[in-house]
């Protein structure tokens, strides 16, 4: 199998490049191809002619998307459509990375793949609109929704918490938002499996279990052996430009249907802390 990863210099892209063996894999970063440039996308993919394209390139700064909506839609929606059209032209399959932000967070039980999209932020809207348009261009594409991504070698929640905890006696962390932390290594392994199984349709891919940001932070500090106190606060006390879903736990049923099981987020966190130390 030949695979091309777009967004290979990002958190997930790096993990995919490290984890993917036994196939012919090419990784391209934003310096190699800007997915907003349809002609360049077509040219690069025409030359590579992969069996699978994994689209991990995105504008993921959620608050940045609120102030730069044009860029958010140009990259996350229009860029994705450029890739889908190029994939269709060469007969390649596409796996697109999407997000829990396509939901409004008003549910109190895990979101299934068929639940209605109702994004509350610019980032969420850009991803939701991309999903709809991709399924029109490439009905057989695979849309892998994930959430709360963390991993070594980039900016992520555990990295931020550990840096702050190293210099502060106490940290205030939001306790009224629940989701599924997902380790880039485990997400990469699941994506590779999905490609090998010729997956199509929407799949929810996260580590098992769920928690609040406060619970996640407490576990990070404890796992790192730090004495910093972690205190729960409300979302209102920590207002951010982009609204966050209060509850965005994704159901694992769709992943189980492909015979794939993910480790718990606690197990993933321990491995991340070890990887970071090394």
Q: What is the pLDDT of residues 151-168, one digit of tens each?
A: 998 899 999 999 999 999
Query: What is the set of domains in the chain, with CATH numbers?
Result: 2-151+182-208+250-263 (3.40.50.720)
Model confidence pLDDT, tens digit, residues 94-148? 999 999 999 999 999 999 999 999 999 999 999 999 999 999 999 999 999 999 9
What is the percent of the chain where pLDDT is above 90? 97
What pLDDT is attached to residue 154? 86
CA distance linking residue 57 with residue 74, whole number of Å: 12
For this structure, is 123 an active site residue? Answer: yes
What pLDDT is attached to residue 178? 98
First to last CA, the chain: 32
Q: Of the residues 101, 123, 183, 272, which is catalytic?
A: 123
What is the pTM for the complete model shown?
0.98
Model confidence pLDDT, tens digit, residues 169-183? 999 999 999 999 999
């Amino acid at each position: 199998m030949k695979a091309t990863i777009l967004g290979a210099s990002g958190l997930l892209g790096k993990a995919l490049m490290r984890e993917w063996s036994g196939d012919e894999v090419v990784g391209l970063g934003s310096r190699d191809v800007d997915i907003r440039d349809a002609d360049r996308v077509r040219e690069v993919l025409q030359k590579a002619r992969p069996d699978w394209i994994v689209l991990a390139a995105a504008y993921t700064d959620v608050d940045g998307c609120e102030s730069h909506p044009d860029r958010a839609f140009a990259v996350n929606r229009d860029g994705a459509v450029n890739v889908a059209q190029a994939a269709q032209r060469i007969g390649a399959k596409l796996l697109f990375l999407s997000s829990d932000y396509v939901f409004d967070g008003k549910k109190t039980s895990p979101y299934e793949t068929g639940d209605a999209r109702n994004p509350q932020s610019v980032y969420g809207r850009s991803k939701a609109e991309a999903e709809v348009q991709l399924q029109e261009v490439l009905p057989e594409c695979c849309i892998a929704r994930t959430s709360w991504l963390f991993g070594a070698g980039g900016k992520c929640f555990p990295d931020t918490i550990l840096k702050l905890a190293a210099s502060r006696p106490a940290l205030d962390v939001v306790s009224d938002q629940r989701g599924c932390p997902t380790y880039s290594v485990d997400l990469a392994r699941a994506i590779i499996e999905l490609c090998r199984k010729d997956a199509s349709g929407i799949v929810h891919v996260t580590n098992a279990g769920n928690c609040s940001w406060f619970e996640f932070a407490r576990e990070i500090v404890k796992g790192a052996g730090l004495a910093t106190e972690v205190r729960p606060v409300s979302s209102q006390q920590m207002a951010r430009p982009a609204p966050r879903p209060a509850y965005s736990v994704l159901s694992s049923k769709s992943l189980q249907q492909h015979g794939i099981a993910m480790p718990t987020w606690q197990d993933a966190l321990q491995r991340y802390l070890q990887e970071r130390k090394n």
